[in-house]
Structure 1
Amino acid sequence: MMHGLQHSQLPPTVRDTGSRWLPRFVTGRPYRSTSGTAEESVRSKPLDEPSGLVQIGCAAYPRSEPVCMTSGNPLASACHSDPMRPNLERIPGKADRLAEAIIDRAPFVVDHGFVDSLGDAAAAALRCYGARMVTFAYREDSIGLVRRSLLAEGLGLCVKPDDDRDVMVGLALPWFVTQQLGRSPKDEFAAIADRLPDNGMTRLIRRFGKRVDITLGAFGWDIVETPEGADFVPTM
């Protein structure tokens, strides 16, 4: 049963993964595929046209919609104006398009060259996106969105590692949703870790998936009903 959200209410970037925003990513090195061909930035209009857009790396956003630039854990950082509000209210979605573009361009097995092509702003966008998508996954009963959330979180952590304790607080949500969907957290977390370079963060993701003692309360979370549907809210 869906938890209070219709498919039409999902953000456009979730409904349509064929992203029109294909940056060469943010502040990192140009990425070259294994074939040696440089990835190019693609956009339907020139970035330098006077359209009220602000350019960040090779992506552009309306000036009234700032990109989440906060580093660190998006679940507990200055990314949020009120730490006790539900996740979708307090975690900005302004960089969802950037995160979608990065995920859609990522190789199935991500290499170090791809990670090195991403900068801190991309890492923050990915982690904010991952934290938001787990709520949509719960509302939609969607293991596909859980996987997308985990991939975004894991890729963001490969670019900019975080404190293990903060990472585990965030990982408790996709672990919980995965279990609620009748899937194996161990298998799902391992599948995402297999797609990412081996490092301390991806090993933490793999270990966390193997745990059998995860509860929302133990990691400082609760579920609340909002007008848009169920959401997760921190309790500490």
Structure 2
Amino acid sequence: MLAMEEQRTLTFPLQLERAAGRQQKLTVDIAQPDDGQEIFEFLLKHFFPLAPIRQLALYDESEEAKRPEWVEDIVRDCVQTPYSLVVRDSCLHNRIVAVAVNEIKKRTLPNVTNHQLYAPKSNNPAQIPVGRLHKAVLEAINRDVDVFAIYDTDIKMEIGVLAVDGRYARQGLATRLVDLSLRIAKAHGVGAVWTEALSAYTAKVASKLGFDVLKGVTYEDFRYEGGFPLANIPGHSVGLLMARKI
């Protein structure tokens, strides 16, 4: 559906090609600061319930787990800068139908790894059982990996969240958002882009666009608190740290 743009300079908002036989008119734009709450509400419906770890229903989740305020804070922080993207459908009252929440980070401390940079964000989710498990997986794939050093750069971008409304699946929207994110990264002098691909869908898109696998864990072999709680996630077998040079 979506041809890659050949122009060097990105201009937003960008209208996407119509899909044959669908009543929709999609536009992708840079997320604005006042989009933060709407993006968070979108993620509550179209991202968190589909996350591989949550599909197992291992825990009776509290309201805090179902509506994680720490994620809302992260989203609001990210949309203060012009790196995240939203896709809206004007035929659906201009509602959000896909998002890429991106964040640029600069190397400010020597020998700091992704895991160490991630740790402050993990303080809140670590108080919730499903959050502790999620954090353990992220720590495993980030441990002893330094994207700054691997790609010899002082600036990197994280694609922290990639989500598409299921009604708009199989149209290439995720691929389009990652492609545009890479081009935004290049325009801002970023040397590498990375993502924590815990789902097969994110890993497939990242692989298609040239991301390398830096480290991974096999879910059926991932030991946590004396057991293997991730052994039977439907459709997902590995969690990967993936990155590519810009």
TM-score (normalised: structure 1): 0.29
TM-score (normalised: structure 2): 0.28
Return the structure number with greater strand share: 2
Return the structure number with greater helix share: 1
